[in-house]
Amino acid sequence: MHFVKAGEKLTFQGIEIEVVPAYNIRKRFHPREYGGVGYIVTVKGIRIYHAGDTDCIPEMKDIKADIVLLPVGGVYTMDAEEAEKVVSAINPRLVIPIHYGSIVGSLSDAQKLKELCGEVVKILPLQN
């Protein structure tokens, strides 16, 4: 087991992993001091950003990614409107909404992101 913190960069079997911050700004669930993280994984030149449990945070403006997995549930994480701001800042080729439909949020949250961002958003089937 290896614990990581924001700012670390690792390479595992040729796959680059950047650890980036993930936290809430206006919620108490994931304070910055908690040290939550997201990841940018680079595989064969494709950068995949998994934001983790987070709001739209200032550090996201510096992220470059081809594929972005963004939470949209809105209770413990950002909502669709905040996620749209992240999509605008990063300008990825593909956006996959996450963190909705089981504990909090619903398919309508993912659909709202698709309405806001268009065809770049791909809603994957929920698994039970």
- The chain-wide mean pLDDT, for the chain, equals 92
* Contacts for 6-12: CB closer than 8 Å, 24+ residues apart: 6/35, 6/37
E strands, 51-104, are 67-71, 94-98
| Predicted local confidence at residue 128, as pLDDT | 57
So where are the chain's domains?
Answer: 9-120
CATH homologous superfamily, domain 9-120: Ribonuclease Z/Hydroxyacylglutathione hydrolase-like (3.60.15.10)
pLDDT in tens, 36-73: 999 999 999 999 999 999 999 999 999 999 999 999 98
pTM > 0.85: yes or no: yes
pLDDT score of 74 more than 60: yes
Res. 90: pLDDT tops 60 = yes
Closest C-alpha among 23, 85, 32, 90 to residue 54: 23
At 80 the pLDDT is 95
